[in-house]
Structure 1
Amino acid sequence: MKNKFIYLAIIAAGFASCEPEFENTVDANYTSGDADFTSYVAVGNSLTAGYMDGTVYRVGQTYSFPNLLAQKFALVGGGEFTQPSYAEDVNNLGGIQGLTGTRLVINASVGGVQPIAGSPTITLTPQATAYNNMGVPGAKSFHLTFPGYGALNPYFARHATSPSATVLGDAMLKTPTFFTNWIGANDVLAYATSGGAQADGVTPAADHNFTGNTNPATYGGNDITNSNVFASVYSTIVTTLTSNGAKGVVCTIPSVTSIPYFTTVPYAPLSPTALGGSANINALNAQLYGPLDGIFTAYGEPNRVNPLSATSANPILIYDADAIDRSAEITGALSGTLGVPTATAFGMVFGKARQATAADLVVLPASSVIGTTNASSPSALININGVSYPMANKWVLTATEKARVANATAAYNASIVSIANANDIAVADMNAIMNQLVTGLRIETGQLYTANYFSGSATEGLVLFSLDGVHPNARGYAVIANEILKVINEFYNANLPLHNPSYFPGINIVPSN
């Protein structure tokens, strides 16, 4: 008969001041199976670091999935698990002094998402310590083996053991007997979250599966990593982690279509009311949409721009870097009625414009830009973002760009599975799990969770993502930890208990800010 003692501390969901308490389960039948958790090391990026609500903060870090795994490993002989220190974050605000802002919260008094009031107290004071959690926010696959990466990434700078240290090298200082490796998301996610644009928000970032560039030292920050580069680096990482006989779990990369950063803002949010009613819609059609529709149709693109509807929601106007450039055609067609200077301005602004479609993904931050005035517009006649001025490249992941992301993700995941099989280590298919969230993921307790963004108190208990729309909240990290625990139990013949995600906080709500 099982001798089980369970101590459950139910965490009050939502309020940022809550300190974490975790279920603590002891069961004589729990076993590590074929795994050895004496020294567990986690390598990865922000998803491993416990990043949520747009930053790493002291309490949020305690909910990192590696820390949640380590709690269960401790039941079967797992050793101490250390994480980079955020003790200086005394007010639990997150951010790094002079570099990044504080964490996001819901301000209940106004009902919106805001950075929590206050200034970051986290500094870059060197800790020069190798930790068990070597998740580094912002890291791409090839960054883990890059000497001196701390000079490029403040998160690693805080704890790199030396100026020339590598993330992987510091991880190996812990002599891992078991590891998790969830790296690779940023190799494609940086491109996706930037709408396929470089840092200027306009110039297209590169897909190096198309360019063939295999030198990551020459990559832009938002470029897609060449899949051969990824496979080579990933193989090095796994070979190194297993070099002393360690076992582990590698995680596949989720599809961007499964996270609320890309699924929350609709492509057609412009209601007749938002556009100012029929009179304004008729004016826009007469002065802008009608002429553009006529020009594009004349050149074989009849649905690139359609007149606005006065009875239903309309798509936003966007800049598409891959669209045929019709600047000259627009300038020529409108010069007779608008004059050459104004027609030239129209050609410059709308030459690569089109209306968004259901195949495009509008990024979450665009919600605060649509309908605002564009200060860089050459004319007051065409200066409303998404309405009379195309949304910049960075605000929309187009269907073409989405396909590049999907192709790269598929190639990366194929390499991850192949390398794992070659090294006889387990795979946690996080891509499949995240995709299930789109239609609904029912966990062992019977609770159904979705990939929706926070939309009010009625849905708070169902939300697994934090307010940045990319990273999980504490409850989401508990679900991730459980999926990895299930893989460990099956692959390594272990018997480890799962967390109950409902005991973990969801969205951070403060009464006022």
Structure 2
Amino acid sequence: MKKIIISTLAVSALLFTTSCENDFDTDVKDIQVTSGDANFANYVALGNSLTSGYRDGALYSSGQNESYPSMIAAQMRLAGGGAFKQPLMPNDVGGFIGLPGFPGKLTLQVAANGTLGPVESPAAAALDNVTAGGPYQNMGVPGAKSFHLIAPGYGSAANLALGAANPYFVRFATSATTSVLQDAMAQKPTFFSLWIGNNDVLSYATNGGTNSQTVGGVTTYSAATVQSGNVNPLTYKSNDISDPNLVAGAIKNVLDGLKSVGSTKGIIANIPSVTSIPFFTRVPYNAVPLDAAKAQALNTSLYGPLKTILTAYGQGSRLNLVAAGNNPVLIKDNKLADLSVQLTAALAANGFTPTEAAFLGNAFGQVRQAKQGELILLTASKVLGLDALTNQPATPTSKFIYGASFPIGDQLSLTADEVANITNAVTAYNASIKAMADSYNLAFVDANAKMKELDSKSGIIWDGVRYTATFVTGGAFSLDGVHLTGRGYAIVANEFIKSINMKYRSTLPQVDPNKYSGVKFP
């Protein structure tokens, strides 16, 4: 099975690029820096993890110092911009001791078998409170969905146990009853940035479309709730896709709130497609390499008998015989009819022991092979190739191997229907965001297009260094496969700067992505 192995050749290609091209050809570094029609005296950034500087699966201090708003603020200071404070974490590891689900950052480490891969660090400190050091201009809150920005009590420590608060906002919220928006409005920004909505679809995607209790994975709300954009965090389904109308209502609520305190100049960005980031592209749908002998053995012992039984129930298309080369991963599709009972009985009648028949029957009741265009998540790389009985690397005698002769869990893949749900939501979100950018007369960043450009073979080049969306060696994405490196955030910062300059006739210089940090190798 394929593992995350990074060769020295790939690392050399990353570090020594000889091209002289530069994709950022609209830089204004040789022009006098001015604010144009904007006022950068008090710049406030609202958003989620992407705004906070989150990377490598955690929020930590050096990553925060390379957040894209921090980079933009530094350029704004050249044109009269003021101080830009961030609620820095107390260490360079991140995580919260005592809070499940908040580990420290990922680091690249060499395993005993010689492979190089990300390893999670233990959380480095307990949840602290830095409110006294505020107000903070970087108000990015990792994990926040669009409607969380306007939810009262989202920064209440007492609400953490109820699942109605976010520890990252608890750290710097001005009160237990305030919202992110209210704290932003209190600062009366002269200029703001807003990049929100990613998590409204991302949590569904990174969980493989599981835990959804709704048709099409989309949670719907009453007309009054949609109009207000305000959802009680206790009532929403965390892994569902947010209703596009709700997202639009929440973003409108944020823009109206800022407008009410005189904050009318700013910039808003749309949502990247999940299909253009490494978390969803690193592992191919056909990640099962087999030689001719292994393929023949699997066909004889497993695929042939299962296909015969499934064909008898009109479901033969679920499985095709494997062949030498790369073969599709076995996945669970919960939309398929569950044939566990029928398979168990048929396998027992065809020479399998009762234990094997029950084991395989239950496991393969809703199994099929992945298809081209479907996505195997980065998290699947932790189990692909393991013995399903021992969770240890497969041996020549292993009968049940994740991906090849045993399915990976439903939470580790996205079917074509689930990918369509995500695509439809992103399209709807982005249409609303662009419409609001126009109606509120704001600068606009097409982050979706930029991420697709990164995902292309040519990628993006700055001063001879090429950046792509390739996991680890592409330079732009961090070890979690979702968030950017310092260099990746610099690419984003430049997109914001270019749009600000175009809209407000300012001349903010772009930043140099090559001066920021990328993936750190051991």
The residue that corresponds to 2:283 in the other structure is: 265
Name the amino acid aligned to 1:267: Y
Deviations 1:158-182 (A, max 9, x none): 1111111111111112111111100
CA distance in 2, matches of 1:228, 1:355: 35
The residue that corresponds to 1:490 in the other structure is: 502
Q: CA deviation at 1:295?
A: 3.0
The residue that corresponds to 1:137 in the other structure is: 142
The answer on 1:507 being equivalent to 2:510 is no
Q: CA deviation at 1:391?
A: 0.6
The answer on 1:425 being equivalent to 2:430 is no
Deviations 1:151-202 (A, max 9, x none): 321111111111111111111121111111000000000000111113xxxx
CA distance in 1, matches of 2:104, 2:340: 42
The answer on 1:57 being equivalent to 2:69 is no
CA distance in 2, matches of 1:45, 1:127: 18
Name the amino acid aligned to 1:466: S
Aligned residues: 467
Q: CA deviation at 1:211?
A: 5.7
Name the amino acid aligned to 2:417: T
Distance 1:368 1:341, change over 3 A: closer
The residue that corresponds to 2:117 in the other structure is: 113
CA distance in 2, matches of 1:344, 1:97: 41
The residue that corresponds to 1:472 in the other structure is: 484
Q: Which secondary structure state, in structure 1, belongs to the residue aligned with residue 202 of structure 2?
A: helix
The answer on 1:352 being equivalent to 2:355 is no
Name the amino acid aligned to 2:255: V
Identify the range of structure 1 (240-249 vs 159-168) with the bigger mean alpha-carbon deviation: 240-249
**Uncovered stretches (5+) of structure 1, i.e. residues with no partner:** 1-12, 15-24, 199-203, 456-461
Q: CA deviation at 1:302?
A: 4.0
Cα pair 1:209 1:227 within 8 Å, conserved: no
Q: CA deviation at 1:290?
A: 0.9
Name the amino acid aligned to 1:388: S
The answer on 1:40 being equivalent to 2:43 is yes
CA distance in 2, matches of 1:70, 1:238: 20
The residue that corresponds to 1:127 in the other structure is: 131
The residue that corresponds to 1:251 in the other structure is: 269
The residue that corresponds to 1:285 in the other structure is: 299
Cα pair 1:208 1:225 within 8 Å, conserved: no
Deviations 1:73-98 (A, max 9, x none): 00000111110032x21xx2222223
Q: CA deviation at 1:207?
A: 5.6
The residue that corresponds to 1:193 in the other structure is: 206
The residue that corresponds to 1:454 in the other structure is: 472
The residue that corresponds to 2:76 in the other structure is: 73
Deviations 1:33-80 (A, max 9, x none): 111111111000000000011111111110000000000000000111
The residue that corresponds to 1:370 in the other structure is: 384
Q: CA deviation at 1:331?
A: 4.0
CA distance in 1, matches of 2:424, 2:58: 29
- Out of 223, 232, 245, which is 2:249 matched to? 232
Q: CA deviation at 1:476?
A: 0.3
Cα pair 1:207 1:404 within 8 Å, conserved: no
The answer on 1:101 being equivalent to 2:103 is yes
The residue that corresponds to 1:295 in the other structure is: 309
Query: After superposition, where does 1:428-439 map in structure 2 within 5 Å?
Result: 428-439=445-456
Q: CA deviation at 1:223?
A: 0.9
Cα pair 2:103 2:121 within 8 Å, conserved: no
CA distance in 1, matches of 2:217, 2:344: 35
Q: CA deviation at 1:420?
A: 1.5
Aligned-residue CA RMSD (Å): 2.7
The answer on 1:180 being equivalent to 2:193 is yes
Q: Which secondary structure state, in structure 2, belongs to the residue aligned with residue 271 of structure 1?
A: strand
Q: TM-score, normalised by structure 2?
A: 0.83
Name the amino acid aligned to 1:246: T
Distance 1:506 1:62, change over 3 A: same
The residue that corresponds to 1:165 in the other structure is: 178
Deviations 1:235-278 (A, max 9, x none): 101111222143111000000011001101122222225xxx72
Cα pair 2:281 2:376 within 8 Å, conserved: yes
Name the amino acid aligned to 2:175: S
The residue that corresponds to 1:212 in the other structure is: 220
Q: Which secondary structure state, in structure 1, belongs to the residue aligned with residue 436 of structure 2?
A: helix
Distance 1:395 1:326, change over 3 A: same
Name the amino acid aligned to 2:128: L
The residue that corresponds to 1:398 in the other structure is: 415
**Uncovered stretches (5+) of structure 2, i.e. residues with no partner:** 1-13, 16-27, 160-164, 226-230, 392-396
Distance 1:411 1:358, change over 3 A: same
Distance 1:134 1:245, change over 3 A: closer
The residue that corresponds to 2:23 in the other structure is: none
Distance 1:283 1:465, change over 3 A: same
The residue that corresponds to 1:5 in the other structure is: none
Q: CA deviation at 1:482?
A: 0.1
Name the amino acid aligned to 1:319: K
Q: Which secondary structure state, in structure 1, belongs to the residue aligned with residue 338 of structure 2?
A: coil
Identify the range of structure 1 (123-132 vs 52-61) with the bigger mean alpha-carbon deviation: 123-132
Distance 1:348 1:391, change over 3 A: same
Q: CA deviation at 1:281?
A: 3.8
CA distance in 2, matches of 1:505, 1:157: 28
The residue that corresponds to 2:337 in the other structure is: 324
Q: Which secondary structure state, in structure 2, belongs to the residue aligned with residue 242 of structure 1?
A: helix
CA distance in 2, matches of 1:94, 1:68: 21
Deviations 1:407-451 (A, max 9, x none): 011111111111121111111010011011121333564643211
Q: CA deviation at 1:315?
A: 1.5
CA distance in 1, matches of 2:517, 2:355: 57
Deviations 1:190-246 (A, max 9, x none): 000111113xxxxx4646775634564432211110111111111101111222143
The residue that corresponds to 2:162 in the other structure is: none
Cα pair 2:220 2:242 within 8 Å, conserved: no
CA distance in 1, matches of 2:217, 2:290: 42
